[in-house]
């Protein structure tokens, strides 16, 4: 495994590798969820392909009150995890090489990013789309792997690739969870002992409610009521949306997602589960 910290050196190294390239974009602070993504990339790349992991804490996707300076950066531990999972090349640029002082061009998605996290974090997905587009241009991957925990990000990047004609296939990996159901996240380390004990209930509530034969409005109301009763929790949003368009789901004729963001103290956790198609021919009760 090799590590490159500049754009020219990464491109030079990739010119000498196999033709099939699979990228796992990350901001570091890697955990077993990231390892699962890298291991999938290894399988997709095959024995002769190249698995690239980018480690870059992207400043443009953090808001002015968010935790950019505190975001975990355990670089040596990240490298060890990448090597064990089968990565071939680590691209870890400095912010100054990704965003020159006069940088002024951004990639803005104007439909799917207006709800959920996009509504709560203005400018976040502009930063995500911009940095991922830059990584695609710099590293020229054939495929890129993203986790389903951030379903909105996954949908937006699929749309970006389609609309801007990137020759990159976006592949998804199911959310990786702790044994008690909590979605793995670099931000979990910020939870207090009491918050960590309460947090797995997020997934339990989403999973149980999504299995009910209710309308999207009824599902959202029931899940919202239960999440608001969690000790120490503050609900940011809870919505049932169309899985592809991210528009509020009006019925169960198409696959949906039950998505939420919940604060415990200053720690913001996101999660989502599928809402299957369902024909509701009778009036349901909440």
Residues belonging to the active site: 34
Please state, in angstroms and rounded to a whole number, the distance separating the CA atoms of residues 124 and 153.
Answer: 10
Query: Pairing state of beta strands 2-4 and 89-91?
Result: parallel
Q: Quick check: 92 and 5 in contact, CB under 8 A?
A: yes
- The kind and range of the H/E element at 221 are helix 216-227
Kindly give, in sequence order, each residue whose CB lies less than 8 Å from that of residue 260, ignoring residues fewer than 6 positions away.
202, 206, 223, 227, 235, 236, 237, 238, 239, 270, 271, 272
- Closest Cα partner for 52 from 76, 6, 77, 20? 20
- Burial status of residue 256 (CB atoms within 10 A of its CB: 0-12, 13-18, 19 or more): buried
In whole angstroms, give the CA distance from residue 93 to residue 10: 9
Q: How far is Cα 7 from Cα 108, in angstroms, rounded to an integer?
A: 23
């Amino acid at each position: 495994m090799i590590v490159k910290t500049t754009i020219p050196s990464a491109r030079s190294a990739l010119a000498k590798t196999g033709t099939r390239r699979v990228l796992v974009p990350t901001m570091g602070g890697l955990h077993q969820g990231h390892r699962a993504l890298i291991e999938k990339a290894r399988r997709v790349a095959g024995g002769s392909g190249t698995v690239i992991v980018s480690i870059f804490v992207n400043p443009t996707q953090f808001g002015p009150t968010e935790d950019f300076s505190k975001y975990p950066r355990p670089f040596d531990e990240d490298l060890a995890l990448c090597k064990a999972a089968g990565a071939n090349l680590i691209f870890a640029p400095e912010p100054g090489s990704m965003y020159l002082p006069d940088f002024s061009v951004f990639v803005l998605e104007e439909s799917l990013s207006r709800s959920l996290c996009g509504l709560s974090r203005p400018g976040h997905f502009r930063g995500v789309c911009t940095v991922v587009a830059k990584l695609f241009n710099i590293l020229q991957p054939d495929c890129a792997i993203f986790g389903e925990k951030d379903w909105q990000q996954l949908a937006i990047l699929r749309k970006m690739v389609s609309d801007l004609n990137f020759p990159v296939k976006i592949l998804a990996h199911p959310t990786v969870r702790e044994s008690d159901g909590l979605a793995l996240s670099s931000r979990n380390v910020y939870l207090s002992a009491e918050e960590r004990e309460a947090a797995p209930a997020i997934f339990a509530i989403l999973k149980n409610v999504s299995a009910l034969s209710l309308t999207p409005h009824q599902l959202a109301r029931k899940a919202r009521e239960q999440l608001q009763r969690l000790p120490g929790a503050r609900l940011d949003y809870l919505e049932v949306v169309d899985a592809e368009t991210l528009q509020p789901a009006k019925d169960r004729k198409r696959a949906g997602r039950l998505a939420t963001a919940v604060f415990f103290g200053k720690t913001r956790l996101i999660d989502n589960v599928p809402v299957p198609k369902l024909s509701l021919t009778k009036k349901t009760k909440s």
